[in-house]
């Protein structure tokens, strides 16, 4: 196919975004660091999601890190130090747990939604379990009624990583509204972008107040709770009130430019998601199910990518599959979300000495035979037809 190419993402940054940036740059007395636009974006994002509060940060991984730091601050029972996470997730979900001094407890994922196996989650809950950190991978909803019921009954926190699933729903309600905290990423390759960026959302006032402090050096003056601020200033009389640092953290702030782009991108998020969902259904329905797993549960899903899981278990055939994609200029990533089984990554070696990697069968399958390719709003049915044709002609 001459001149054919299918990138992971196409034109996620539009000319109207450039106009918004220009407007900011042309202002008199220009302020570019975090200010009014950031607050406006946070309010608009909260309205779109259906939560009370949000905190705009400089990446999805910063949102992950702040969320787990927050758990550490609000956790009263220090014997609770385990957080259950899926083996298929982004590196920062697990690193946030480790870097905050908690123990990650791993579970396998389901092939039909790439999210954590909730039966395994329930089995691994014990007296030390502080939280479940779910990843709604690649646009799929990972929640079910049973897990929500168990977590509520056992008073275990749910944190939702929705960095890959903006707009997906469970029981017609947006995911990211079920947990005590949820995280989103606005990296270029996701549903919407602020170039780099992320959001922490919550209905919990205390969580919201602390998130503002954690975003900005742990600085008390960022607090949204003026009574609390006064109390601390009084307590630390020897400190300059503008330089009181409450918690160990870093600077995770974003900018007015990022916020202006975010507000503009948010305007087309719903319509773009509808296009993506239509594309996704077409793609899955036309893929040859004798060659590719197609039993995905796309109820409420909002996919920014097309997942592909090969039915074969032959590495030779897999390598041939990759060669054909490269030849046809179809960009791909192996391992679906985050490169497959996180337990195989070098950064985790010292933390998982007694864990048998191969027991997590589904993530192992995804690690070696799972892929994703792009699904962007400007993608037309004709092009999907060509891609499906290439895939369905491959011999396994």
Residues at the interface with ligand PLP (CB under 6 A): 59-61, 64, 89-90, 92-93, 135, 161, 163-164, 185, 187, 198, 337
Q: From CA 20, how far away is CA 36, in angstroms rounded? A: 15
| Tokens of residue 22, six digits | 């220009």
- Rank residues 113 and 223 by Cβ distance to ligand PLP and give the closer one: 113
Please list the alpha-helical segments (H only) found in the chain. 15-25, 36-49, 60-74, 91-99, 118-124, 145-153, 205-215, 226-235, 256-267, 269-286, 315-327, 361-369, 381-393
Contact by Cβ (8 Å): 301, 139: yes
Looking at residue 131, the DSSP 8-state letter turns out to be E
What is the 3-state secondary structure of 161-204?
ECCCCCCCEECCEECCCCCCEEEEECCCCCCCCCCCCEEEEECC
CB of 190 vs ligand PLP, minimal distance in Å: 7
CB of 393 vs ligand PLP, minimal distance in Å: 31
- Rank residues 61 and 294 by Cβ distance to ligand PLP and give the closer one: 61
CB of 186 vs ligand PLP, minimal distance in Å: 7
Residue with tokens 């009263």: 76
| Tokens of residue 238, six digits | 């020897």
CB of 201 vs ligand PLP, minimal distance in Å: 14
- Rank residues 220 and 266 by Cβ distance to ligand PLP and give the closer one: 266
CB of 373 vs ligand PLP, minimal distance in Å: 16
CB of 116 vs ligand PLP, minimal distance in Å: 12
- Rank residues 12 and 92 by Cβ distance to ligand PLP and give the closer one: 92
Residue 24, judged by CB atoms within 10 A of its CB (0-12, 13-18, 19+), counts as middle
- Rank residues 161 and 229 by Cβ distance to ligand PLP and give the closer one: 161
CB of 159 vs ligand PLP, minimal distance in Å: 11
- Rank residues 93 and 108 by Cβ distance to ligand PLP and give the closer one: 93
Indicate the helix (H) or strand (E) that contains 84.
strand 82-86
CB of 61 vs ligand PLP, minimal distance in Å: 3
- Rank residues 49 and 287 by Cβ distance to ligand PLP and give the closer one: 49
Residue nearest to ligand PLP (CB): 60
What value, to the nearest 5°, has the Cα angle with vertex 128 and ends 122 and 129?
40
User: Pick from 368, 284, 372, 293: which is nearest to 333 by CA?
Assistant: 372
- Rank residues 160 and 209 by Cβ distance to ligand PLP and give the closer one: 160
- Burial string for 289-308 (b: 16+ CB within 10 Å, else e) reads eebbbbebebebbbbbbbbb
- Rank residues 259 and 390 by Cβ distance to ligand PLP and give the closer one: 259
CB of 198 vs ligand PLP, minimal distance in Å: 5
**How far are the Cα atoms of 192, 228, 253 from residue 242, in angstroms, in the given order?**
35, 14, 18
């Amino acid at each position: 196919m001459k001149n054919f190419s299918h990138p992971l993402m196409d034109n996620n940054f539009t000319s109207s975004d450039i106009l918004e940036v220009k407007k900011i740059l042309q202002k008199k007395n220009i302020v570019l660091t975090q200010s009014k636009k950031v607050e406006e974006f946070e309010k608009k994002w909260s309205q779109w999601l259906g939560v009370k509060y949000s905190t705009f940060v400089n990446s999805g991984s910063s949102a992950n890190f702040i969320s787990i730091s927050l758990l550490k601050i609000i956790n009263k029972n220090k014997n609770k130090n385990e957080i259950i996470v899926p083996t298929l997730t982004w590196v920062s979900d697990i690193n946030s747990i480790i870097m905050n001094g908690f123990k990650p407890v791993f579970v396998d994922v389901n092939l039909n939604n790439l999210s954590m196996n909730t039966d395994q989650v329930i089995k691994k809950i014990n007296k030390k379990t502080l939280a479940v950190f779910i990843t709604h991978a690649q646009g799929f909803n990972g929640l079910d009624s049973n897990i929500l019921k168990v977590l509520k009954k056992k008073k275990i926190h749910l944190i939702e990583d929705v960095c890959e699933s903006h707009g997906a729903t469970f029981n017609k309600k947006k995911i990211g509204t079920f947990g005590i905290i949820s995280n989103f990423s606005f990296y270029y390759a996701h549903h919407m972008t602020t170039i780099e960026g992320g959001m922490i959302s919550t209905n919990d006032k205390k969580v919201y107040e602390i998130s503002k402090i954690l975003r900005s050096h742990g600085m008390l003056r960022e607090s949204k709770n003026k009574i609390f601020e006064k109390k601390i200033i009084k307590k630390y009389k020897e400190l300059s009130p503008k330089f009181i640092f409450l918690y160990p953290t870093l600077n995770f702030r974003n900018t007015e430019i990022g916020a202006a782009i975010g507000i503009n991108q948010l305007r087309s998020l719903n319509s773009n998601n509808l296009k993506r969902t239509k594309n996704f259904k077409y793609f899955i329905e036309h893929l040859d199910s004798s060659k590719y797993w197609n039993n995905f549960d796309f109820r409420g899903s909002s996919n920014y990518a097309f997942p592909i899981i090969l039915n074969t278990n032959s590495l030779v055939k897999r390598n041939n599959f990759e060669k054909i994609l490269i030849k046809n200029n179809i960009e791909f990533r192996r391992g679906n979300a985050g490169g497959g089984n996180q337990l195989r990554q070098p950064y985790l070696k010292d933390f998982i000495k007694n864990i048998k990697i191969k027991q997590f069968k589904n993530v192992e399958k995804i690690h070696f035979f799972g892929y994703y390719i792009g699904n962007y709003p400007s993608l037309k049915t004709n092009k999907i037809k060509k891609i499906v044709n290439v895939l369905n002609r491959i011999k396994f």
